[in-house]
A and B are shown apart, each in its own frame.
Chain A
Amino acid sequence: MDSLHTYLFVALLLFCIGLFGLLQRRSLIGMLISVELMLNAASINFLAFNRFLGPDPAVGQIMVLFIMGIAAAEAAIALSLILALYRRLRSIDIEKARELRG
């Protein structure tokens, strides 16, 4: 609980779970959810380093804050694009969208 490695392990595991989801979900929204998990993993990392190693406790927190902001923006754009795709294909299954290939 008070060791850096625990947090790093947690973050890494979360990252990999997110990655697993990203790679196997067919639903675009599912993929987006997985991405959010991965971003959180990075946040945990930042804060853990901040807590155990960092020179200035504020820096890591600010990083996490910005990651959240970016995540929000990302989610907004992603969702709007997913909806746009849904309008075209009547589906948000990524495997249906394979016009572009070769």
Chain B
Amino acid sequence: MQHGEVHITSYRAHGVILVLLLFLTAITITITWVDAGSFSVGVAMLVACVKATLVLFYFMHLKFDALVFKVFAGMVFFLLAVVFVVTFFDYLFR
């Protein structure tokens, strides 16, 4: 028993997301081809984050799920980010 309306994502919506994802993949590849360096890694990671968000929100239905799931996911990614930052307190200031 699902609570409230069950959200049905249309086939088309899935298709659109896939096209977006493929497009972003193409961007990453070209960017890193054109200009190697720390800049392109930053962009590649940024694009990867966008892609991940798309997968989370649409393929994994997070957008249409109850609030708790969004809060949980937000919390986990925040935690992961903070752990990275705090670890790099060591490596950046040596």
Whether chain B is bound by chain A comes out as: no
**Which chain B residues have a beta carbon within 8 Å of chain A's beta carbons?**
none
